[in-house]
Structure 1
Amino acid sequence: MRRRRSTRTGGTPCSPSAGARRRRSTRGRSPRPPCARPRRHRALEDLLGSGAVLSALSALGPHEPTPEARAAATLWEATEAPASVLRRCDSGRELYEYGYPQDVAVAAEVDTSETVPVLTDGAFLEAP
């Protein structure tokens, strides 16, 4: 099992399609956007990333998303150039300023991997 540590913010490589397939296979509560910030503050990159997964999940069949999940999916579907948006949002600009433009580029990739990362004990592990 590959172990990938995340030392900065800026996104984790993931495939929205693979994430949606995994989410559908684990059935449970209604899908909702994840929150990567303290105190349930969702940043734009959180909403776009989760919106991509939730939009792909909708394409797999019926489910009952929360209003937040529906809004995140709608935001993703309405964003014409997600990579450009990520470069211009607060976190994207910070990563460029700190010398990590490649993190923004990786975060903007869509369906380039079948790996679904799961945060376990402070590190991202490949989902089983």
Structure 2
Amino acid sequence: MPQPFDQSTYQVRLEWGVAGLERLAPADVVVVVDVLRFSSTVTDTVAAGESVDLETAIGWSANGAAVTRAAGAETVLIGCLRNASAVARAVAALQDRRQRRTSVAVIAAGERASDGGLRFAVEDHLGAGAIIAALSDLGIDHTSPEAAAACESARGLRRALRHLLAASGSGRELTDGVAVTARIAASGLTPTTTQQAAEIDATDVVPVLRDGGFVPFV
């Protein structure tokens, strides 16, 4: 029987973090959105033709990589503002290949709060919303109320994305410099900047999890 918070009656769903992923009904596709660190950096690294190992990413991503590892879906994609439309096209392609309706769980990673809980992160809300909006544009629009709210937030605030990301708590933290940026660099990757993370549809590359690492979806 459907549960109140599992969003199982909808094709496109939205939740937050590992706990949110566990609350949702199982989906055919999970899209992990951790805009300012994990998703944008992994996307740009894969777009540059380099590989990213999930276990390595866990060393510098307490949220996005953890959601990815917890996802038990048939397909796990990495999404952000930079590849929002490409993610939607990848989901549409998967649905065409499967020849049946394909459910999608968009998981915003959020930020780790000082008390150990999960903090709402505006950048992940907008990144998830941009992907949901792109899905809607392709006709994959049977969205839960939670997903619809994020979708319309991203549509309405599209022109302000750069300012919103830079002015957010997470954006200000990155501007001031944080240890995670150094850990990303230490792993041999180039961290995506806040300004770059705010660029919508800057790349057509969508990382997909395969055998413990990320490769381009084809």
* Equivalent-residue separation in structure 2 for 1:93 and 1:17 (angstroms): 27
SS of the counterpart of 1:34?
A: strand
- Cα offset for 1:94? 0.6
State the match for 2:132 in structure 1.
Answer: 54
Q: Corresponding residue for 2:148? A: 70
Return the alpha-carbon distance in structure 1 between the equivalents of residues 94 and 120 of structure 2. 24
C-alpha distance in 2 between matches for 1:13 and 1:49: 5
Following the alignment from structure 1 to structure 2, what is the Cα–Cα distance between the partners of residues 127 and 40? 29
Distance 2:52 2:84 in 1: 18
Instruction: Report if aligned partners of 1:14, 1:116 keep a CA contact under 8 Å in 2.
Output: no
Total equivalences in the alignment: 126
Query: Which consecutive residues of structure 1, in runs of 5 or more, have no partner in the other structure?
Result: none
Q: Does 1:18 align with 2:91?
A: no
1:32, 1:12 → 2: CA distance? 14
**Mapped contact 2:205–2:217 kept (Cα < 8 A):** yes
1:90 corresponds to:
169
Distance 1:26 1:42 in 2: 30
Partner of 1:108: 198
Partner of 2:186: none
Cα distance between partner residues in 2 of 1:13 and 1:55: 11
Q: Conserved in 2, the CA contact under 8 Å of 1:13 and 1:113?
A: no
Cα distance in structure 2, aligned partners of 1:112 and 1:24? 19
CA–CA separation in structure 1 for the residues paired with 2:148 and 2:90: 18
Higher relative contact order, structure no. (Cα contacts within 8 Å, ≥ 6 residues apart)? 1
Identical positions, percent: 32
- For each residue in 1:44-89, what CA deviation from the matched residue of structure 2 results, as whole angstroms up to 9, or x when unmatched? 1111111111111111114311211111111101113101000011
> 1 CA distance for matches of 2:81 and 2:154?
17
Does residue 125 in structure 1 map to residue 215 in structure 2? yes
Indicate the RMSD between aligned Cα atoms, in angstroms: 3.1
Indicate the larger mover: 92-101 or 72-81.
92-101
TM-score of the superposed pair, with normalisation by structure 2:
0.49
The Cα offsets for residues 83-118 of structure 1, whole Å up to 9 and x where unpaired, read as 100001111111000076952012111111110123
TM-superposition CA deviations, 1:1-27 (whole Å, max 9, x none) = 631465468x96732111111122234
Q: Which structure has the highest strand share of the two?
A: 2
